[in-house]
Structures are given as structure tokens and as C-alpha cells.
Chain A
Amino acid sequence: MAKAQIQETLKNALEASVDPVSLSWMVEQAEKIKASTSPNPFFLAFSRASRYFNKEAISWTEGVTMALPEGVDPSAWDCLQVARMFLVLQLPFQNEVWEDILQRLFETGDMYEQQALYAALPLLPNSERLLPRAIEGCRTNISLIFDAIALHNPFPARFFPEANWNQLVLKAIFMQRPLYLIQDLDRRRNTALAAMATDFAHERWAAGRAVMPEVWRLIVPFMNSQYLEDLKNVLASTDATEQKAGALAAYQSDYAPAKGLLTAFPSLQEACASDDYSWEDLGIEFQKNRI
């Protein structure tokens, strides 16, 4: 998708939410960035955007999101982030300087700047060249930055090799991030991840701590006699959300003994059969109750 079209879309989205003065400042900066051979106007504008844009959410209309590259979900972006994305897209992507400029910005960015940069990855031309940077970014312990890479972002599912993808999902579990906001989670489930996730669950149980219900989504395609024991545990939980998660994992699996567990829980079986709740519902329920 053409860069110009993405920029136009971002600008239109901002128009409805911000002061015209801020918008004309942004457009003016974009011209300065394009006209300069030094990266300084870009660095300066990127930082100073916080003086013109706030962190209020933007309301996106459906038509607008259609104009963004496939899989891009802007629902979590705020005005400041979108303005910064607009500015990043001014970089000269036709030569390779842009990589150095962006690396420098990633290394010196404050937490909101980094949030904007990582969330912008799927908008950048040749963004796969920033794969090492995205993998490095997942090592952050700042949840705001981690979320920008892991949640609402098509980049990891599209480009992360399996080992890094698994590390991302596992870290999301560890940090109790909402797994339902990780794009293409089902498609990229794998046996190694299922094994790591259940090991993690065992550690939590050993410590007498609860396990995030969304974890059981990861074992569905790989159900076997070992995971069956885990499911029995989950179904016996006193926590309703956890129990519902165990039931859904059992219901969705093709492993007959797992499905068989549900006969002891007719109301849960019925709820699964009539699509009463989804993994997303369970994730939302969990996040709400952990407050």
C-alpha cells in the first residue's frame, strides 16, 4: 500500500480529533523533514509532537481502517501516536538512511515515543528489516512498549520466527497481558509453545497462584493424555473464568477423552455448544477481575 495513502488516512483520522493548529504544525514539520538532508528536523518534530497532541483515543470509522495495510488495527492508538506515525512516514525510505535514523530514535526514545514507533512497524515500507529491533523491543519490561509490539499489531505473527514468537507469547502470559489482543494467535499456535505454556501453569500451581485462563487456548490443537490431566485440574477450579476456559479448550479440541470430560459439566458443555462465550470474552473477564 502506498505510503502517501497511509499518511492521508492518518491525517484524516487526526482531523476529526485535534485542533487545526496542531494539524498544520504537523504538516509544516513534514515539509521541513522532507526538505532537509539532516535528520535533526525529524528528531525534533518527533519529540515535540507531545506539545501539540494529547494521548486521547481517536475514533476510527470503518472506511478509514480499510485504507490501512491489511491486519493493521488502529483501535488502541492515540492522537500523539498517530501524529508521530505520520512524521515517521516522512523519512526517505527509498534509500537506506532511514534505518540508521530509526535505530537512533529507538535507542533514545522515551516510553511514549517507543510505543509509537513499535506500533508503526506494520505501516513502514520494508518493515521486515526492523525484525531484529522488534525482537529486541520485546525484552522491555515497560508494559506500554511491550503492548505496542505484542497487541493489536500484525507484525509479530507475520515476521517473528517461531522461537521469538513463542518468547513473545510466553512473556505476554507472564506479564498478564490480554492474549486475545495478539493477532493470529490461533494460527501460530505450536507444540513447543503449548509445552512451555503448560510448564508455566505448573510453576504457578506449585506456587499456589492462579493461572491466566487464556493459557488453555494454546493447547487446543495439541491435546493429549498429559494435557488432559491439566484440563481436569482447570475444570475443578473454583474460579468460574478458569473453569470456563478449561471447558472451552476441551470442547474445541479433537481429542475424544478431552471432550469426554465435559459430560460431567453439562451446563458448561451446553454453553460451549451454543457459542455463549469466546476466548476473547474470557480474556476480558480476566483482565476486568484482576483490577
Chain B
Amino acid sequence: MYIDPHIHLVSRTTDDYEAMRKAGIVATIEPAFWLGQPRTEVGSFKDYFSTLVGWERFRASQFGIVHYCTMGLNSKEANNVALAEQVMELLPLYAGKEGVVAIGEIGYDDQTEAEDRFYRLQLELAKEVELPVLIHTPHRDKKKGTTRSMDVAVEHGMDPYWVVVDHNNEETVKEVLDRGFWAAFTIYPHTKMGSERMVEIVKQYGPERIIVNSAADWGISDPIAVPKTAALMRKMGVPEEHVRLTTYQNALTVFGLSGQMHEDDWLKAAPIDQTKKLGGNSVLRGGQVPRVEGPDDRVEN
């Protein structure tokens, strides 16, 4: 069983869902992010947030995958201040919803003043609604941006154990772990962080507070990067327990702090088609084997 704790499923096809399920992914977390181009209306955010707790959750369930999400205003779009202010008014409506496991992904992109302002406001929101935080670290000027993200989180009184710092690399991981934060790694095919480098990091730093994700979205990315990395870890002699921690348990532990994510959600899943439950056919396929939905569970539409 695997968890992909960072994947933008609204951009993925049903083929991807099938492949993910087949590869053993039982749960996913979809952080609220941008759409590849900036939104211009607050209503676009509202409908996007509603999709994350509505249609996408349902779509995932039809493939036997439990879908969670994080809510937040991403750093890129924080730079449209007038719009960002309206999004901030919208967020409390979604932050408390079922299956929202963190505030995120938030942080810095160009490390502007506006980004800083909305990052801080959202750290306060996270404390208020008692949710962990998922930090997106910048792709440019990364090292400094990562350090700054953690400094500011600490300044706002966040417990590092409640904060996942994402998109790490060899240059950032040490400080993140030393300061007690969770270090997530995104496996990017071809570039940046590949599975091979990930294996080396786990070998060097061990499995504690390290999390692997795909961050698959509308760009070149691989929705089964987590199971693939796990397979490579095994091949390279990483102990099974370390594989389990970095590709399953650590994500569950930190995002489970939200109280919104439990192993039973996939181990004792109820059928999505309620008529099956009412028809007396809801033999809970419990135990250690997650419920697997078949084509019959999918509604033609």
C-alpha cells in the first residue's frame, strides 16, 4: 500500500487512476495549487476548491482511491493582492471541511512582499483551525527560500512537527530535518529529483520524517512515481520498513494530525454506490486489504 501525499488529480486521466490503483496507491492528497495560468476571478477559486472536496473526491473513489486535499492560496497567485484578499475570505469556508488535511501548499515563489503577507496570514489560519501546514518551496533561489519559509513558520509559533516542507533536494534536506520539520521530496521524471537520487537520500538520512510524492500535475510528471521509487528502493537494498515509512506511514502520521485521515478510510471503506449498501450487499471488505472498486462501481455519465 502506498500514499501519494502530493498529486494534482484534477489534471489526470482515468487511465492514471487505474494505473495508480493497480500500483497499490490507496490514498492521495491533492494540495490546492494554481492551474498553470493565473485565475482572474474569485469565483474560479471557489469552484476549484469545491471540485477538490466534491467531484475529484468522487472520481477517485470510483477507482478505490481515497482522496484528501489541502486548502490554501498558492504563492504565485498571492501576488495578485486584490484577488488574494478575496480568496482569504473564502478559505475559512473550506478549511474545516471533511478530508481537508492541511493548509497548503503555501509559501514563496518569487519571495515578494505580497507572498510573505499571505503566507503569514495562512499560517495563522492553520493554527486557528488546528491543521498541519504544507509548504511549497520556491524553484528559484530555493535554498534561501526554504530557510526563510521555516523561519517564518517558527516565528508564527508553528510546531515544526506540524509542518511539511515540500520539494526538497540534497541541498535543503539537512536543515529541514535538523530543525524538526518533515521533508517531502517530489520525484520529477527526467529532471531535478529522480528516483535514483531519492534512494540515495533515504540511504543517507534514514526514513525518519522523509516523505516521497509525485506532485503529478498538468506538466510532465508521473502519477506512479511513489510506487516506482519504492520498487527502486527495495532493489537497491533499502530496508522494507524504511520503504514503508517514506512511501506510506510518514505521510499518514503527519497529515493524520488533522484528525481527517485514518487508515480505516481505505481499509474499511464503504461502497461509494449507496444502493449497494442499502441493498444489504455492503460486506465490508475489511481486514488489511483495502476495498477495491470495480468497473461496476463506476457510474456512467
Interface residues of A (CB under 8 A from B): 40, 43-44, 47-48, 50-51, 55, 75-76, 107-114, 141-144, 147, 151, 174-178, 181, 284, 287-288, 290-291
Contacts and interface: CB of A to CB of B under 8 A. Distances in A.
A25 to B, nearest CB: 14
B38 interface: no
A114 B276 CA distance: 20
Interface stretch (B50-58, B133-141, B210-218): B50-58
Contacts of B54: 109-111, 114, 142
Contacts of B99: 110
Given A76-B278, A142-B54, 9 more contacts: A75-B278, A110-B99, A111-B53, A111-B54, A141-B301, A142-B58, A287-B276, A287-B279, A288-B279
A222 B292 CA distance: 43
Given A147-B275, A178-B275, A284-B279, A141 B299 contact: yes
B268 to A, nearest CB: 11
A141 B61 CA distance: 13
Nearest to A143: B299
Interface stretch (B90-98, B118-126, B159-167): B90-98
26 contacts: A44-B92, A47-B98, A48-B96, A50-B98, A76-B278, A108-B46, A108-B49, A109-B50, A109-B53, A110-B53, A110-B97, A111-B53, A111-B54, A111-B58, A112-B98, A142-B55, A142-B58, A143-B58, A143-B273, A143-B274, A144-B58, A144-B272, A147-B274, A147-B275, A178-B279, A291-B296
Nearest to A285: B279
B13 interface: no
A259 B278 CA distance: 34
Contacts of A107: 46, 50
B296 A290 contact: yes
B97 A113 contact: yes
A178 B270 CA distance: 19
B300 interface: yes
A287 B275 contact: yes
Contacts of B49: 108
A55 B259 CA distance: 16
B57 A111 contact: yes
Nearest to A55: B270
Nearest to B298: A143
A143 B55 contact: no
Interface string B256-286: 0001000000000010111110110100000
B52 to A, nearest CB: 9
Interface string B232-273: 000000000000000000000000000100000000001011
Contacts of B275: 147, 151, 177-178, 181, 287
Nearest to A51: B259
Interface of B: 46, 49-50, 53-55, 57-58, 92-94, 96-99, 259, 270, 272-276, 278-279, 281, 296, 299-301
B97 A47 contact: yes
B258 to A, nearest CB: 10
B93 A43 contact: yes
B288 to A, nearest CB: 21
Contacts of A176: 299-300
Contacts of A76: 274, 278
A151 B276 CA distance: 13
A177 B273 CA distance: 9
B299 A108 contact: no
Contacts of B92: 40, 43-44
Nearest to B50: A108
A277 to B, nearest CB: 16
Contacts of B279: 178, 284, 287-288
Nearest to B299: A143
Nearest to A142: B58
Nearest to A75: B278
Contacts of A142: 54-55, 58
Contacts of B57: 110-111
Nearest to A49: B98
Contact of B301 (A55, A175, A178): A175
Nearest to A44: B96
A112 B276 CA distance: 17
Nearest to B279: A287
The 6 closest A-B pairs by CB, nearest first: A110-B53, A50-B98, A141-B301, A47-B96, A142-B58, A143-B299
A144 B55 CA distance: 11
Contacts of A40: 92
A291 B273 CA distance: 10
A290 B296 CA distance: 7
Given A76-B278, A178-B275, A287-B275, A110 B98 contact: yes
B281 A288 contact: yes
Nearest to B57: A111
A280 B299 CA distance: 21
A55 to B, nearest CB: 7
Contacts of A174: 300-301
Nearest to A104: B93
A118 to B, nearest CB: 13
Nearest to B54: A111
A111 B274 CA distance: 13
A48 B260 CA distance: 11
A291 B299 contact: no
